[in-house]
């Protein structure tokens, strides 16, 4: 049996902080007692990223088990202990191969743990396709959805879909029966479309404001619906670029800290050290923190955010550390029923990021 004690750390536990000694045995937190020592390190739960396409020159689009495993290893260095490799909308063959690669990698990770797959499409709006492959877009198809669930071996945990498309209601019902969370995203849904979907059980949304109908005083749109329905949860990209910091703060004021999940939506070349920068097969360059299409710099492909930077941004914007932890760990664990991660608590996996006084990483522990 392996045993370790973290002496005198300031642990951020749900809603509060406390200086404690943490006993870890075989990767599980088995004890936590108040400490008389003066804390020099802060312990936060390992970050959970439920929407990430790639990292360090590897991505889901590589259809490679080894790419997923390298991605896992590199993510751990930045504090992510659990993640959902996120698959783009693409041809059916490509999606199937992406799922197969992730399934093969599951259980072999040396870094961040694969806790599920997020399928971003293909049941999304052609009007809000974004950087997705339009050739893969299609209306909701329950038979195809069940096929994705089956070939994932139960790993499919999240799917982004557009509520206004024909067949969405049946898709949502099937998802509930199979433990998959449907997120409204890449959608041109009006308020009434969102209201109908919400009444049918829709409770989550993909990267708020981005690739969805915005708030207008005569048509509240998807954004207005997400703000209006108090039990709706939403992702948000907290790079300060996809959504202005003041709008992030406004969202937190409206929704509360328990209804928002910070994500990176980062792409394959994020933190890549060398080699050609590609995102979903498209050459990209970094401009002002965003990946843009090489030769067409006005076309944004996506984020270069890390979860550590997302966490730092939230603190810089005045979010208390206990609330920042909710956004980067606790909320995702609760929403996706990841029962053994997301909190520093007896009985949970010892997924812990130890932070220095300036909130840089001192050590990442994966239980």
- Residues marked active site are found at 265
Across the chain, how many H-helices and E-strands are there? Answer: 10, 21
Is the backbone peptide bond immediately before 122 cis, with ω within 30 degrees of 0?
A: yes
Q: List all residues 6 or more positions away from 177 whose beta carbon is below 8 Å from its beta carbon.
A: none
Which single residue is written with the structure tokens 């669930």? 149
In terms of C-beta density within 10 A (0-12 exposed, 13-18 middle, 19 or more buried), how is residue 129 classed? middle
Residue 147, Cβ neighbours under 10 Å: how many?
15
Q: List all residues 6 or more positions away from 110 whose beta carbon is below 8 Å from its beta carbon.
A: 69, 72, 73, 76
Which single residue is written with the structure tokens 């974004």? 130
Q: List all residues 6 or more positions away from 338 whose beta carbon is below 8 Å from its beta carbon.
A: 48, 82, 115, 332
Query: With contact defined as beta carbons under 8 Å apart, do 204 and 183 qualify?
Result: yes
Closest CA to 48 of 257, 341, 252, 270: 341
Q: Alpha carbon 192 to chain centroid distance?
A: 27
Query: With contact defined as beta carbons under 8 Å apart, do 342 and 367 qualify?
Result: no
* Integer Cα distance of 121 and 29 in angstroms: 37
Q: Burial letters for 169-194: b for 16+ Cβ neighbours within 10 Å, e otherwise? A: bebbebbeeeebbbbbbbbbbbbebb
Return phi, psi of residue 319, to 5°: -80, 130
* Integer Cα distance of 237 and 306 in angstroms: 10
């Amino acid at each position: 049996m392996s045993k370790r004690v973290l002496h005198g750390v300031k642990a951020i536990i749900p809603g509060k902080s406390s200086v404690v000694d943490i006993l870890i045995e075989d990767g599980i937190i088995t004890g936590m007692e108040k400490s008389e020592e003066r804390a020099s390190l802060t312990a936060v739960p390992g970050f959970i990223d439920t929407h990430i396409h790639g990292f360090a020159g590897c991505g889901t689009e590589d259809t490679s088990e080894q790419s997923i495993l390298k991605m896992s290893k590199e993510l751990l260095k930045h504090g992510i202990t659990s993640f959902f490799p996120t698959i783009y909308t693409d041809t059916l063959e490509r999606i199937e191969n992406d799922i197969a690669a992730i399934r093969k990698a599951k259980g072999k990770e040396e870094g961040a743990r694969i806790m599920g797959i997020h399928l971003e499409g293909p049941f999304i709006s052609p009007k809000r396709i974004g950087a997705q492959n339009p050739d893969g877009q299609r209306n909701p198809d329950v038979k195809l959805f069940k096929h994705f669930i089956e070939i994932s071996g139960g790993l499919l945990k999240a799917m982004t879909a557009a509520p206004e498309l024909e067949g969405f209601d049946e898709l949502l019902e099937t998802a509930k029966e199979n433990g998959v969370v449907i997120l409204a995203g890449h959608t041109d849904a009006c308020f009434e479309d969102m209201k109908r979907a919400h009444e049918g059980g829709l409770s989550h949304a993909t990267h708020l404001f981005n690739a969805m109908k915005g708030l207008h005083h005569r048509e509240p749109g998807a954004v207005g619906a997400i703000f209006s329905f108090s039990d709706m949860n939403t992702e948000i990209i907290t790079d300060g670029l996809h959504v202005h910091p003041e709008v992030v703060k406004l969202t937190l004021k409206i929704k509360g800290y328990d209804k928002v999940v910070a994500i990176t939506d980062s792409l394959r070349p994020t933190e890549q050290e060398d080699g050609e920068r590609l995102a979903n097969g498209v050459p990209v360059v970094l401009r002002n923190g965003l990946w843009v299409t090489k030769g067409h710099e006005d076309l944004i492909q996506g984020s270069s955010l890390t979860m550590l930077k997302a966490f730092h941004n939230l603190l810089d914007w005045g979010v208390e550390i206990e609330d920042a932890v909710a956004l980067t760990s606790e909320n995702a664990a609760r929403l996706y029923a990841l029962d053994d991660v997301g909190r520093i608590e007896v009985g949970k996996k010892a997924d812990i990021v130890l932070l220095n006084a300036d909130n840089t990483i001192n050590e990442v522990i994966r239980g």
